[in-house]
Structure 1
Amino acid sequence: MFQPSFSPLPTAFDDGREQPPEAQLEQLGHALMTEVIDVLSDTQLEDFRTLICEALIGAFHSAAQRIDRDADNQRDDINRLVRDNDGSEIADVELQQAIAKTRAADMAVVAVEAIRDAAAQAYTSATGDVWTAWKGTVRASRATAAQMEARDALRAAKARKHAATDPGATIVAFRAAPQADTADDAQRIFDALNWAHQQWPEMALATTGAKGGEKIAIKWAQQKKVTLVLAKADFDKNGRAAPFRANDQLMDLEPVCVLTLANTLNTERGASLQPFGPALNLGQKAAEKGVRHFPVKARP
Structure 2
Amino acid sequence: MTKTFRSVRTTAEIAELMAAETASDAFEQAFTETVDGFRMDYADEETGADMPIAAQAELATEMVIRTFFDLFRDTRLEPIADRIAWGIVHSFHKVADQLDGEADKAVRKIKELVHDADGSEIAMAELEEAQTLCHSLDEARDAIACMRDYAAATFSAETGRPWSPPRGSLVSSKRTASVVAATDFLAARRQRRIDAHAPQGPVVIFSGGQLWEDHELLTDRLDEIKARVPQMVLATTAQSKGCDAIAAAWAARTGTPLIAFTLNGKLGQRAGFARNEQLLGLRPVEAVVCEGSGLQSHLARLVRAKGVPAHFFRLADQRAAAA
Q: Is the 8 A contact 2:69 2:82 kept in 1?
A: no
- Quote the residue 2:157 is aligned against: 125
Partner residue in 1 for 2:51: 19
- In structure 2, the residue matched to 1:228 is 258
The CA deviation at 1:57 is 1.4
Gap runs ≥5 in structure 2 = 1-28, 39-45, 170-196, 318-323
- Equivalent residue in structure 2 for 1:281, among 279, 285, 297: 297
Change (3 A) 1:282 1:61: farther
Change in 2 beyond 3 A, CA 1:282/1:296: same
Q: Unmatched 5+ residue regions in structure 1?
A: 138-164, 263-274
Aligned to 1:292: 308
TM-score norm. by structure 1 comes to 0.66
**2:223 is aligned with 1:190:** yes
Distance in 2 (CA, whole Å) between partners of 1:221 and 1:229 is: 10
CA distance in 2, matches of 1:31, 1:86: 52
Deviation at 1:290, TM superposition (A): 3.5
- Which residue type is aligned with residue 278 of structure 2? D
Paired with 2:81 and 2:298, the residues of 1 have a C-alpha distance of 33
RMSD: 3.7
Letter paired with 1:132: S
Shift of 1:233: 6.4
Distance 1:125 1:48 in 2: 16
C-alpha spacing 1:10/1:283, structure 2 compared with 1 (3 Å): closer
Cα distance between partner residues in 1 of 2:285 and 2:152: 29
Greater Cα radius of gyration, structure 1 or 2: 2
Q: For 2:206, give the aligned amino acid.
A: F
Q: Which residue of 1 aligns with 2:287?
A: 259
TM-score (norm 2): 0.62
Q: CA deviation at 1:10?
A: 4.9
Contact 2:289 2:312 in 1 (8 A): yes
Given the superposition, is the C-alpha separation of residues 293 and 134 from structure 1 closer, same or farther in structure 2, using an over 3 Å criterion?
A: farther
For these two proteins, the number of residue pairs brought into alignment is 246
Q: 1:134: Cα distance to partner?
A: 4.3
Counterpart residue number, 1:115? 147
Query: Which of 119, 126, 131 is the aligned partner of 1:87?
Result: 119
Aligned to 2:61: 29
User: SS at 1:74's partner residue?
Assistant: helix
The correspondence of residues 1-300 of structure 1 with structure 2, limited to 5 A, is 6-11=31-36, 13=38, 15-135=47-167, 171-176=203-208, 178-182=212-216, 185-195=218-228, 197=229, 203-209=232-238, 210-211=240-241, 213-218=243-248, 221-222=251-252, 226-232=256-262, 246=272, 248-254=274-280, 255-257=283-285, 259-260=287-288, 262=290, 276-277=292-293, 280-281=296-297, 283-287=299-303, 289-292=305-308, 294-295=310-311
